[in-house]
Homo-oligomer: A and B are copies of this chain.
Amino acid sequence: MTPADRRARERAETQQKILDAARVLFASEGYAAVTMRRIADAIEYTPAALYNHFPDKDELIRSLCRLDYLALAARFATVATVPDPLDRIAATGLEYIRFAIEHPNHYRLMFLTPPPVDDSAVTFEGHGDPHRDGYAFLRSVVAEAIARGQLRPDLTDADLLAQTLWAGVHGVAALELTMQGDQWVPWRTVEARARMVTDVMLHGIAAQGAKR
């Protein structure tokens, strides 16, 4: 426990305090409320102090994001037990939309705001691990359905299929978050749309003689 260790630990703790304050602000008042000054106020620091821990606001926000990706992947654990791959695909889609509705601010940050271009190799622990990477989870479920011959024989690209299914549920979630309050369209409930998009896509990918 050298002094250097202690300083490193304290540094990590401060960094965590910053992230926690940002998360609270973010979850309670939305993206616009997340301001370097307001974060600093919340932890009784000076705005400039934050720049000792994060190169800029983008990187701070991205750090917040990384944890949320894990939270989403963790949620999929509850559907991993569904035995039939087709059912599991549907359950994954519904769980995904539920996550978006329950955590709109986080979802907006994760999938609805353009990435502040991260040219560097974004290698991050958990990439490809279905337990920590939501996309990998979806892909693996799709791959299993393909392997079991439950899908149309002309659909063989698990990545393309996973991305298509993702697009479907993302579309429902994104329209819900972006268009809520819109009066132009006679919107059906988000639950109905979630059910419909999973139902339609499942029908669209399942092999001819599949159940349902």
Contact = CB atoms under 8 A, between A and B. Distances in A.
Contact of A204 (B117, B187, B204): B204
Contacts of A113: 178
A8 interface: no
A200 B204 contact: yes
A67 interface: no
Interface stretch (A56-64, A75-83, A160-168): A160-168
Interface size class of A (residues with CB under 8 A): 35 or more
Contact of A181 (B115, B169, B170, B186): B115
Q: Which of A159, A172, A179, A204 has the most C-beta atoms of chain B within 10 angstroms of its own C-beta?
A: A204
Interface in A91-114: 108, 111-114
| A interface, over-half SS | helix
A117 B179 CA distance: 10
Given A200-B205, A201-B200, A193 B112 contact: no
A97 to B, nearest CB: 10
Given A115-B178, A121-B183, A135-B185, 15 more contacts: A108-B114, A122-B183, A122-B184, A124-B184, A127-B184, A152-B203, A159-B185, A159-B186, A161-B196, A163-B188, A163-B193, A170-B174, A171-B174, A201-B201, A202-B204
27 contacts: A108-B114, A111-B174, A111-B178, A111-B179, A112-B174, A115-B179, A122-B184, A127-B184, A135-B184, A152-B203, A159-B185, A160-B193, A160-B196, A163-B185, A163-B193, A164-B197, A166-B175, A167-B172, A167-B175, A167-B197, A168-B197, A170-B171, A170-B175, A199-B204, A200-B205, A203-B204, A204-B204
